[in-house]
Amino acid sequence: MQHEFIFAGFGGQGVLLMGQLLAHTAMDEGKRVSWIPSYGPEMRGGTANCTVIVSDREIGSPVVSRPSCVVAMNLPSLDKFEETVKPNGVLVINSSLVTREPKRQDVTVVKVPATQVANELGNARVANMVALGAVIEATGVVTPDGLMKALKKNLPPHRQNLLPLNREAIEKGRKTAQE
């Protein structure tokens, strides 16, 4: 079994971090993982994306052209990556910022108002964790418990106070995906 994710959004939405946290979690749960960022002459406010592979066996190409799951945190990301999702794959959309309907009929679409939920929680920056909650619920790639453990392990000491907020964001994201 192999999951291939592309997390995409604009710089500052924490898309690289989402992917890293997922990779950490899957690694701690005994899976093979790889994470690669799109890197280039980037700038703040530009687009950012990363590719994460989670597999039971040795990972060949860390680069994928047909991911099993795309997470589009904004409209340009949906425009760029919607077509790439494998048939029967998963498309997670931040419906707070994406104004159009997805075109694909052959994939599972999960709409999460990630930015709105994050704002309601009092911090727009946890929109990525809301979306990540939805991702793990929709794909079952890692356990919620494993994600919470990895979150605690990877938050630096001076940020541990943000643990409850992030946990809540992930839980809200999971609930949205269940609906």
Partner 1 sequence: MSEKLLMKGNEALGEAALQAGCQLYFAYPITPQSELPEYLSRRMPELGRVFLQAESEIAAINMVYGAAGAGARVMTSSSSPGISLKQEGLSYIAAAQLPCVIVNMSRGGPGLGSIQPAQSDYLQATKGGGHGDYHLIVLAPASAQEIVDLTILAFDLADQYRTPVMIMGDGLLGQMMEPVLFPDRTNVELPEKPWATTGRKGDRPKNIIHSLELQSERLEAHNQKLQEKYADIAATQKRSDEYLTEDADVVLVAFGTVARICRSAIDMAREKGIKAGLFRPISLWPFPDEALARLAEKERVFLSVEMNCGQMVDDIKLAVDCRRPVHFFGRVGGIVPSPEEVLAEIEKIMAGRCDA
Residue of the chain from 17, 27, 75, 155 that contacts partner 1 (CB under 8 A)? 27
17 near partner 1, judged by CB under 8 A: no
12 near partner 1, judged by CB under 8 A: no
Q: What distance in Å separates the CA atoms of residue 132 and residue 150, rounded to the nearest whole number?
A: 13
Number of helices (H), then strands (E), in the chain: 6, 6
Q: Which is nearer to partner 1, 32 or 149 (CB)?
A: 32
139 backbone dihedrals φ, ψ, rounded to 5°: -110, -20
Q: What distance in Å separates the CA atoms of residue 19 and residue 46, rounded to the nearest whole number?
A: 18
Residue of the chain from 12, 46, 61, 87 that contacts partner 1 (CB under 8 A)? 61
23 near partner 1, judged by CB under 8 A: yes
Instruction: Tell the smallest beta-carbon distance from residue 68 to partner 1 (Å).
Output: 14
Find the DSSP H helices in 83-162. Answer: 114-120, 127-139, 144-154
Instruction: Tell the smallest beta-carbon distance from residue 34 to partner 1 (Å).
Output: 5
Query: Token pair for residue 156?
Result: 């630096």
Contacting positions for partner 1 (CB under 8 A): 20, 23-24, 27, 32-37, 39-41, 58-63, 65-66
